[in-house]
């Protein structure tokens, strides 16, 4: 079947199977920042935005994205670079495997939350796993990025 989506502000027609998931479709169409870690909604690595809301693309059927706006890290690279520099400064960037999904979640948090507490930030990040950093550097970086104590 064919769907039409707006990916990073560009309208694209995509051929998809009925049982195909969005992470696979996006990669098939060259959006290679989208990766899968667990494939079972546990790690957050595959996070993209659908209509500006963080969504796990590994378990979202592609046809459900028909007519909707999809944003990946390629579409927000200026904001992603800004946050990545803070991450590096805090020593919170190690292998980087988790970064695409993690950064999409943090940028969504910035859009959605005003003056979040540490508890709110941690809760928002519940679905994003990182096997390297221990999270404390990431938490410092997020607080700096959001301008909260």
Footprint on this chain of ligand FES (rule: CB under 6 A): 36-39, 41-46, 56, 58, 94-98, 130-133
Residue nearest to ligand FES (CB): 58
| First vs last C-alpha separation in the chain | 49
Q: Please, what is the minimum distance in Å from the beta carbon of residue 144 to ligand FES?
A: 18
Q: Which is nearer to ligand FES, 41 or 120 (CB)?
A: 41
SS3 114: coil
Q: Please, what is the minimum distance in Å from the beta carbon of residue 22 to ligand FES?
A: 10
Q: Which is nearer to ligand FES, 76 or 138 (CB)?
A: 138
In angstroms, the CA 40 to CA 56 distance is 9
Q: Please, what is the minimum distance in Å from the beta carbon of residue 98 to ligand FES?
A: 3
In angstroms, the CA 23 to CA 19 distance is 12
Q: Which is nearer to ligand FES, 66 or 94 (CB)?
A: 94
Q: Please, what is the minimum distance in Å from the beta carbon of residue 53 to ligand FES?
A: 15
Q: Which is nearer to ligand FES, 44 or 116 (CB)?
A: 44
Q: Give the phi and the psi of residue 21 in degrees, each rounded to 5.
A: -95, 155
How far is the CA of 64 from the CAs of 13, 44, 67, 76, 96, in angstroms?
14, 19, 9, 23, 29
């Amino acid at each position: 079947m064919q769907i039409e989506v707006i990916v990073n502000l560009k309208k694209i027609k995509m051929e998809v199977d009925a049982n195909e998931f969005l992470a696979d479709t996006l990669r098939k169409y060259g959006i290679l920042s989208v990766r899968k870690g667990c494939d079972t909604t546990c790690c957050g690595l595959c996070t993209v935005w659908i209509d500006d809301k963080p969504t796990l693309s590994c378990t979202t059927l592609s046809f459900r994205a028909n007519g909707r706006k999809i944003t990946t890290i390629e579409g927000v690279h200026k904001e992603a670079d800004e946050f990545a520099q803070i991450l590096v400064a805090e020593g919170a960037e190690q292998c980087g495997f988790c970064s695409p999904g993690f950064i999409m979640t943090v940028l969504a948090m910035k859009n959605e939350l005003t003056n979040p507490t540490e508890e709110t930030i941690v809760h928002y990040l519940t679905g994003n796993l990182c096997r390297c950093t221990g999270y404390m550097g990431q938490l410092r970086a997020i607080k700096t990025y959001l301008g909260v104590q």
